[in-house]
């Protein structure tokens, strides 16, 4: 990815974090919203326009560049070995999920039955895995990207499928904070691929929303898990009735 692309990507992340839209940028730059969308799509900004947007976001241009550099150094995925070391240690797994979701040291300690020494021990392990930087005063600086995800088919995903999937779906999904949609239809390979791309966009929107709300106090947010899945599949129930010669 070019530096220009990285800078624009970081700018968009800064806008989302402050809840700003293309409409806001259009107003700042005295342009139409369509023109602003084209600027982002073509990644064609003058320095003056970038500085104007930074002013409205109350950040210095140099801070935007620094944020870009920090983003480029952030982890989007762990190695197989790193994930395995987390999956093999339940306390480490718990603390890893917490810090990825922005918990502070005190929030982990107060919410879970871990002593300060145990919390510190697990955070040191995560620092060795380069998932975080552990700063003075037990402050935590995450080193994961906003779009960080576990490895497809990796140890964490396998752990979820083996131990947590049945628990996750053991619900009526009828409360205000829950929803289950089961979609079934016939798609071509091209249609299936298009739907997977839509799922990728939904995943990006989920990460963007989490980032935008990251400044809210922890007691105003709750753990939210969304499972997006698609596969070419037919229930065993129907397979039993299928003609063998098809």
* CATH assignment of the domain containing 84: 1.10.10
Q: Which domain holds residue 7?
A: 3-73
**Judgement on whether residues 175 and 245 belong to the same structural domain of the protein:** yes
Q: Which residues contact 236 (CB under 8 A, 6 or more apart)?
A: none
Work out the number of other CB atoms within 10 angstroms of the CB of residue 68.
Answer: 20
**Judgement on whether residues 203 and 235 belong to the same structural domain of the protein:** yes
Output phi, psi for 123, to 5 deg.
-65, -35
Does residue 211 belong to any structural domain of this protein?
Answer: yes
Instruction: Give dist(CA 114, CA 174) in Å, integer.
Output: 33
Cα dihedral 194→195→199→205 (10° resolution): 70
- 3-state SS assignment for residue 192: helix
Low-confidence stretches of the chain (pLDDT beneath 50)? none
pLDDT of residue 240: 61
CB 37 within 8 A of CB 22: yes
pLDDT of residue 2: 65
Helix or strand run (H / E) with residue 140: strand 139-142
Q: What confidence tens digit (pLDDT) does each residue in 52-93 have? A: 999 999 989 888 888 887 766 667 788 899 999 999 998 999
pLDDT of residue 217: 84
**Judgement on whether residues 93 and 108 belong to the same structural domain of the protein:** yes
Does residue 205 belong to any structural domain of this protein?
Answer: yes
pLDDT of residue 78: 86
Q: What pTM value is reported for the model?
A: 0.61
CB 15 within 8 A of CB 57: yes
* Tokens encoding 204: 């990006």
Domain boundary among 73, 98, 116: 73
Domain boundary among 15, 45, 73: 73
Does residue 239 belong to any structural domain of this protein?
Answer: yes
Does residue 162 belong to any structural domain of this protein?
Answer: no
Domain boundary among 73, 100, 117: 73
């Amino acid at each position: 990815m070019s530096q220009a692309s990285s800078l624009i990507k970081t700018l968009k992340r800064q806008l989302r974090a402050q809840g700003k839209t293309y409409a806001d940028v259009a107003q700042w730059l005295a342009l139409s919203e369509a023109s602003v969308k084209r600027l982002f799509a073509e990644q064609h900004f003058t320095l003056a326009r970038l500085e104007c947007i930074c002013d409205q976001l109350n950040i210095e241009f140099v801070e935007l560049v620094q944020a870009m550099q920090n983003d480029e150094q952030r982890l989007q995925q762990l190695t197989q070995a790193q994930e395995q070391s987390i999956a093999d240690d339940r306390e480490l797994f718990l603390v890893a999920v917490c810090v990825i979701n922005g918990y502070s040291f005190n929030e982990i300690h107060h919410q879970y039955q871990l002593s300060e020494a145990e919390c510190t021990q697990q955070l040191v392990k995560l620092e060795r895995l380069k998932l975080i930087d552990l700063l003075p005063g037990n402050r935590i600086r995450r080193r994961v990207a906003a779009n960080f995800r576990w490895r497809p088919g990796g140890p964490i995903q396998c752990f979820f499928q083996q131990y947590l999937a049945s628990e996750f779906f053991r619900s009526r999904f009828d409360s205000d904070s829950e929803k289950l949609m089961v979609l079934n239809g016939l798609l071509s390979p091209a249609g299936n691929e298009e739907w997977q791309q839509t799922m990728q966009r939904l995943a990006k929107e989920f990460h963007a929303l989490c980032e935008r709300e990251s400044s809210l106090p922890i007691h105003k947010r709750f753990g939210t898990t969304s499972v997006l899945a698609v596969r070419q599949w037919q229930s065993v129930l129907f397979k039993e009735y299928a003609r063998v010669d098809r």
